[in-house]
Each structure stands twice: as C-alpha cells, then as structure tokens.
Structure 1
Amino acid sequence: MPFVNIKITREGSAPGRSAATAEEKAALIKGVSQLLLDVLGKPMDSTFVAIDEVELENWGWGGLPVPEYRKQQPSKQK
C-alpha cells in the first residue's frame, strides 16, 4: 500500500486562497497514483495520496527561514 505525501507552498497565492484548487489537487492525486501504477504496478485503489500546504513562514532553506535565505542570494538577472 503506497502512501505519497505531496507538500506544496502557498507562496504566490492570493490571501485566503489555497496554493492549488480542488481540481488541481485532484489532478495531482490522479497523476501520482497513475505513475505508481505505471512504474511499479501498484493498484490505484491501494494508493493513498496526502497533500500538505505549507505557509512560507513554516519552511527553511540553507539553515535559514526562506525569506532570510532569499535576502542573502544575489538577485537574478532577467
């Protein structure tokens, strides 16, 4: 019984809106389940998928909160 946990950030979303719509989340669940069937032969009816949305202030990168890490990075040239 596979269990897949997808974590997505809410960054870039409007206040009060999830990072992904219900339709987008359904597509993620279906796609991951299909991938496990195609690659590993795991039946879709025994695959569990959980999606966690993470607020920007609840994750870090390089030992720092993400906003602090980004302040230390050189700006990207367009």
Structure 2
Amino acid sequence: MPLIEVTLTEGRSPEQLRALISGLTRAAADAIDAPLQNIRVVLRELPETHWAAGDVTIAERRAREEGTP
C-alpha cells in the first residue's frame, strides 16, 4: 500500500488540492502498477509562519520581497 505524504503551505483552493491528490494517485499507479484503491495520499498544510529555510520563514521572505517590513 503506497503512502504519499505532501507538506505544503496553506492557501490553495479545495479544487487545487483535489487535483494534486488525483495527480499523485495516478502517478503512483502508473509508476509502480499499484491499484488505485491501495494508494494513500496525505496532505499537510502549514501556515507560512511555520515553514522556514535558513532561519527565514516563508512569510518573512514574502514580506521582504513585497517590500513590507
């Protein structure tokens, strides 16, 4: 039973998330010939303040790019 886990920032529409689930499921089925009913997809959405790289959160990086202090 394949399990695909994805962590991404919040802000996508339910339709976008549904499309992601479908695309990942199809990709796994095609790649490893797994039955669709056996493929699990878990999406974890985090606020931009809870995801950082190089000690800078995504929220901080976006604010800097937009010129906001």
The answer to whether TM tops 0.5 is yes
- Counterparts of 1:24 and 1:59, CA distance in 2: 20
Task: Please name the residue that 1:3 is paired with.
Answer: 3
**Runs ≥4 in structure 1, deviation > 3 angstroms?**
none
State the 1:3 CA deviation: 0.9
State the 1:65 CA deviation: 3.4
Structure 1 gaps, min length 5: 11-18
**Structure 2 length-normalised TM:** 0.75
Structure 2 gaps, min length 5: none
Q: 1:57, 1:65 within 8 Å by CA — same for their partners in 2?
A: no
Task: Please name the residue that 2:13 is paired with.
Answer: 21
Residue identity (%): 25
Which of 56, 59, 64 is the aligned partner of 1:65? 56
2:37 counterpart of 1:45: yes
Q: Which residue identity does 2:56 align to in structure 1?
A: P
What is the aligned-residue RMSD (CA, Å)?
2.1
Q: Which structure features the higher share of helix residues?
A: 2
